[in-house]
Amino acid sequence: MKQGFQKYIPFRPIPLPGRTWPDKVIDKAPVWCSVDLRDGNQALINPMNLEEKIRFFQMLVEIGFKEIEVGFPSASETEYEILRALIDRGLIPDDVTIQVLVQARPHLIQKTFEAIEGAKNVIVHFYNSTSTLQRKIVFQKDMEGIIDIAVQGAKLVKELTNAREDKKMHIRYEYSPESFSGTEMDNAVRICEEVLDALDATQENPVILNLPNTVEGATPNCYADQIEYFCTHLKGKERAIISVHPHNDRGCGVAATELAIMAGAQRVEGTVFGNGERTGNADIMVVAMNMYSQGVDPRLDFSNLPKIKEIYEQSTKMKVHERHPYAGELVFTAFSGSHQDAINKGYAYMQNSGTPYWEIPYLPIDPADVGREYEPVIRINSQSGKGGAAFVMQQSFGYSLPKEMHPEFGAIVKHACDQAGRELRPEEVFSLFETEYLIIHRPYNLKSYKLFEENSGEGDAAVHFEGVLRFEHEDHAISGVGNGPIDAFFKALKTVGITNYTFVNYHEHAISSGADSKAVSYIHLIGPDGRTLFGVGRDSNISLASIKGIICAINRSKKTAE
């Protein structure tokens, strides 16, 4: 590569002084056309069979596509039969227009019209390549010869439309100067003007002019310049619908699409998840969801993205990458401690502020909007911070650990991750919590207990605690009276020599709803040696949950001392 780069010819941007597209904002969705069943299908190692293609078509309809390119019926008998199956089985809704692709060659156009017979709404999409490189190498024709191919194709398409027997069919036209982005702009404008004239295009019956970035050869701003140049130089632009078909050779297909819309494109062709020749097509799902994240209605429904992903993978035998925008398994997942902390605080802010807007750091959209509400946003590995484990406990199990406790439990979980050498599942995090806080009964085991309140009649109440505490292989009856359950219990502990523990504070909440709900209490103590201690208690009675939490903290202090 030290010398190899010298054999490549750099793209020369077109001069466009006074360009306006950089100041534009995308505020409405374009017309979408899925080309999954043609462009996407031809890029597969094993193209979809009839039933897979039909299921994929039905999924595209459910998403909301109103224009769907279903194939290249003149290319093979398989393509022809799939189109006929959609028509003959009545699978095309009345408000959906199917699109068929054909080269601007007479015998292929003739066969295409035979294939579409009986369909209600059809776009006949014909094309020929116009780029400098194609003219020089493939066709060995000058621009006049290339224009003649397009015009003769347009005249035949018009003639066959007029001659068709089924006058109820609504046929529209689309022309693509294939490899538009590699064509001199004046030539691209000229050939499209000639095609519009040959098709008798009008403002009432416009023709779709599709301008493909067939091989992405430059930065997205160059494509946007080409689109704006075309739109501002095309005579009779009101007769046309400007469409784009970006590819992804440089990895910029989505960016090129967005800038092209800013530059005047009214329609976008692409595929769901970006499958297509070489590195793929523009990913319509990503472009649409990018609009959605900016408060713009994309007019496509990806609310069940996991199901769409499942059908896509089954039909194409391809996989959606774990980091694929919006759809990947891990795109809403945070492992980093700082990310987890910010997301955790974002969720708390949303709950406490009552804001009508989605305002959570690191999550550009609400995962629930695309059907991901039941998947963990925060997952735990050795990179996770102290708030990550607490978030999992709250989101997955309903335990809201107080902030003061996060460092302690986070360190426990981090150590377990380091020992395991992998991510911990939520169930494993809960198992650590349970082992560390809920099932620790030594050296002190509170075997039985009861609380009752006594009122003197003068407004002063005293709380009595009575119980049996087992330690050193013996049962010990304990009792105490205080101004509340916690005070009474501490006084009971003093009767058997358990002293010098200072109560700091506690937090409590319910962990389920209804009559069978349980309460959990988090106790914060200072031990005899000055160390901070935490304990957790769980019971259907909140007062007894606090008492269990105190015993838990004391037992954990003894365990640590050992």
pLDDT tops 60 at residue 374: no
The mean of the pLDDT values for the chain is 93
DSSP codes of every residue in 86-101: HHHTT-S-TT-EEEEE
Q: Where in the sequence of the chain do the CATH 3.20.20.70 domains occur?
A: 35-316
Residues 279 and 217: their CA atoms lie apart, in Å, by 13
pLDDT digits (tens, 9 = 90+) for 78-136: 889 999 999 999 999 999 999 999 999 999 999 999 999 999 999 999 999 998 888 87
Question: Angle at Cα 274 formed by Cα 271 and Cα 276, nearest 5°?
Answer: 80
Q: What pLDDT, on a 0 to 100 scale, did the predictor assign at position 461?
A: 82
Cis geometry, peptide bond prior to residue 443 (ω within 30 degrees of 0): yes
Give the pLDDT of residue 515. Answer: 58
Closest by Cα among 278, 326, 283, 271 to 304: 326
pLDDT at 302: 98
* Maximum Cα interatomic distance, the chain, rounded to a whole number of Å: 109
Q: Look at residue 423 in the predicted model and tell me its pLDDT.
A: 87
Q: How far apart (Å, rounded) are the C-alpha atoms in residues 93 and 96?
A: 5
Would you tell me how many other CB atoms lie within 10 Å of the CB of residue 198? 20
User: How far does Cα 290 stand from its chain's mean position?
Assistant: 10
- Residue length of the chain: 562
Residue 345 CB coordination number (10 Å) = 14
| For residue 551, pLDDT beyond 90 | yes
Range 48-74 average pLDDT: 96
Is residue 265 within 8 Å of residue 34, measured between CB atoms?
no
Q: Report the C-alpha gap between 187 and 180 in whole angstroms.
A: 9
Task: Give 184 or 386, the one with higher predicted confidence.
Answer: 184
Asked if the model's pLDDT at residue 508 lies above 70, the reply is yes
Q: How confident is the model at residue 72 (pLDDT cuts 50, 70, 90)?
A: very high
Q: 238 is written with which tokens?
A: 């009101």
In the chain, residues under CATH classification 3.30.160.270 are 445-561
CB contact set of 162 (below 8 Å; sequence gap of 6+): none
| pLDDT mean over 478-485 | 94
Both structure tokens of 36:
């999954």
Report the distance separating Cα 556 and Cα 562, nearest Å.
Answer: 10
Full-model pTM: 0.80
Identify the pLDDT of residue 13: 93
pLDDT of 432-481, one tens digit each? Answer: 999 999 998 899 999 999 888 888 666 678 999 999 999 999 999 999 99
Q: Which of 66, 84, 74, 46 is nearest to 269 (CA)?
A: 66
Task: Give the pLDDT mean for 414-437.
Answer: 92
CATH superfamily assigned to domain 35-316: Aldolase class I (3.20.20.70)
CA 412 to CA 400: how far, in whole Å?
17
If one looks up domain 445-561 in CATH, what number appears?
3.30.160.270
